């Protein structure tokens, strides 16, 4: 009898333990913070649908199109993405207003892909104080890899240090006596490129850089700056510009007969929105550090990822230009965001979103160049750590053998 009672007691105890374990497991699998539920994941963003850099809004439109595709396929782990992309006119004060609306009124789970270095800079402290993920933002700068002070903020784009490491290496090897003129946007975006250039050139920076000029995003042109930079006697020109001013600088250098070795920052490499308006013939010889496939490059004609991208553009983003690299940026960033959310499973808390975003290892994302993958860690928030130096030949960006 005692033996039977003992067996019953053990069985009851085991059942209780199992019940507690299963309850804990279920709880761990389905946890939600604001913006997440059993059916929906709400994501917020600001984008310049009006103002001086509207061309860059193609990124936000592409991301919305990608999420529409994902929703048509059943969503992420059965949850549909609700994407709220609000216009901030590329005005930092408007970015603050719209971001607060997304977090406090719309109750989004996270902020994703907001555009602009200055724009993201003004909301960084707010989002980190609120412990809201500030992820895969379309901002280029040096401040986005600072997990100690800003553990909730992460950019997608390669850091200026990564871009300028490739170009500086080429310059020192091929043109060690270069005289460099620099044009930069007068904000954190442009200044960080200048800072990265000087860091990569090291002791040579003080002798190689002979002139610098800046512009404001409200300026009607950069003609006077280009004329002044040419007068410096420089034989190498670095343009750290957003798309519209990238086109201005390319066209003006050609039109005044200045033929320096020219390098353009990644945001100004789109054939559709920068090089075509500037003139493809005037863009020949441009150098850039890139990490995405170029739809204009016939080398990718039979590439499976390129075929998928073109098919997606036709169905989900028909008003976009297949050749516009900004659409590829949106495609890649949205694909990576979906991968992070997929890895979250049912634990859709903000802390777990950041945990997954900062523990990626050699993740392959469609449309990245071969050999380039995404890796992050709690101490290194840079998703893209590699680029390839490329030269524009009048039709496409072709790889440069360094």
Summarised one tens digit per residue, pLDDT across range 194-211 is: 999 999 999 999 999 999
**Alpha helices, DSSP H only, in 30-155?**
58-72, 92-100, 117-130
Q: Could you tell me what percent of the chain has a pLDDT over 70?
A: 93
Pair 347, 337: CB distance under 8 Å: no
Predicted pLDDT of residue 297? 87
Q: What is the DSSP letter of 369?
A: P
202: Cβ–Cβ under 8 A, 6 or more apart, which residues?
none
Rounded Cα distance, 75 and 91, in Å = 32
Cα 49 to Cα 88: distance, rounded to the nearest angstrom: 7
Output the pLDDT for position 103.
98
CB 157 within 8 A of CB 163: no
Cα distances (Å, whole numbers) of residue 167 to 116, 193, 362, 379, 397: 23, 12, 24, 26, 15
Q: Is the pLDDT of residue 392 over 90?
A: yes
Q: Is 51's pLDDT higher than 70?
A: yes
Contact in structure between 225 and 252 (CB atoms under 8 Å): no
40-158+302-385 and 160-290, same CATH topology: yes
Dihedral sign for Cα 112, 118, 122, 125, please: positive
| Domain boundaries of the chain, sorted by first residue | 40-158+302-385, 160-290
Token representation of residue 35: 């913006």
Rounded CA separation 150/128 (Å): 6
| pLDDT (tens digit per residue) in 242-266 | 999 999 999 999 999 999 999 999 9
State pLDDT tens for residues 304-353. 999 999 999 999 999 999 988 899 999 999 999 999 999 999 999 999 99
Does pLDDT of 7 surpass 70? no
Confidence of residue 402 (pLDDT cuts 50, 70, 90): low
Inter-CA distances, 221 with 53, 233, 248, Å: 13, 22, 7
Question: 249: closest CA among 326, 304, 312, 185?
Answer: 185
β-strand partners of 236? 180, 261
**129 contacts: CB under 8 Å, gap ≥ 6:** none
What contacts 199, CB < 8 A, 6 or more positions away? 161, 164
Of the candidate CATH numbers 3.40.50.2300, 3.10.110.10, 1.10.1370.40, 1.20.80.10, the domain formed by 40-158+302-385 belongs to 3.40.50.2300
SS3 of residue 239 by DSSP: strand
* 281, 394 contact by CB (below 8 A): yes
Looking at the domain covering 160-290, what would its CATH class be? alpha beta
* Pair 246, 183: CB distance under 8 Å: no
Task: Compute the radius of gyration of the chain from its Cα atoms.
Answer: 24
Which residues of 159-229 form beta strands (DSSP E)? 180-185, 209-215
């Amino acid at each position: 009898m005692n033996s039977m009672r003992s067996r019953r007691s053990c069985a009851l105890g085991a059942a209780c333990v199992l019940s507690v374990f299963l309850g804990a497991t279920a709880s761990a699998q389905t946890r939600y913070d604001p913006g997440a539920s059993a059916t929906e994941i709400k994501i917020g963003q600001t984008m310049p649908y009006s103002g001086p850099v509207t061309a860059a809004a193609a990124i936000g439109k592409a991301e919305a199109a990608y999420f529409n595709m994902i929703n048509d396929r059943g969503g992420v782990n059965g949850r549909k993405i609700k994407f709220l992309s609000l216009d901030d006119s590329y005005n930092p004060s408007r970015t603050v207003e719209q971001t607060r609306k997304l977090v406090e009124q719309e109750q989004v789970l996270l902020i994703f892909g907001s555009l602009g270095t200055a724009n993201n800079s003004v909301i960084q402290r707010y989002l980190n104080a609120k412990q809201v993920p500030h992820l895969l933002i379309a901002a280029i700068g040096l401040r986005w890899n600072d997990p100690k002070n800003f553990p909730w903020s992460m950019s997608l784009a390669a850091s200026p240090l990564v871009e300028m490491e490739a170009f500086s290496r080429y310059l020192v090897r091929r043109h060690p006596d270069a005289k460099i003129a620099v044009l930069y946007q007068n904000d954190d975006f442009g200044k960080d490129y200048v800072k990265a250039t000087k860091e990569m050139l090291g002791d040579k920076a003080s002798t190689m850089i002979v002139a610098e000029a800046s512009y404001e995003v409200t300026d009607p042109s950069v003609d006077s700056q280009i004329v002044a930079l040419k007068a410096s006697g420089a034989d190498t020109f670095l343009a750290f510009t957003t798309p519209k001013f990238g086109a201005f600088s390319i066209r003006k250098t050609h039109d005044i007969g200045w033929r320096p070795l020219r390098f353009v920052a990644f945001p100004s490499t789109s054939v559709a929105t920068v090089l075509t308006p500037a003139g493809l013939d005037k863009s020949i010889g441009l150098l850039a550090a890139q990490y995405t496939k170029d739809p204009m490059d016939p080398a990718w004609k039979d590439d499976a990822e390129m075929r998928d991208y073109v098919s997606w553009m036709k169905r989900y983003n028909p008003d976009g230009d297949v050749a516009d690299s900004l659409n590829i940026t949106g495609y890649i960033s949205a694909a990576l965001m979906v991968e992070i959310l997929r890895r979250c499973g049912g634990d859709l808390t903000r802390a777990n979103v950041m945990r997954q975003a900062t523990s990626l290892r050699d993740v392959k994302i469609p449309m990245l160049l071969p050999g380039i993958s995404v890796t992050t860690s709690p101490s290194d928030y840079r998703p893209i750590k590699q680029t390839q130096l490329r030269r524009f030949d009048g039709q496409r960006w072709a790889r440069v053998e360094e």
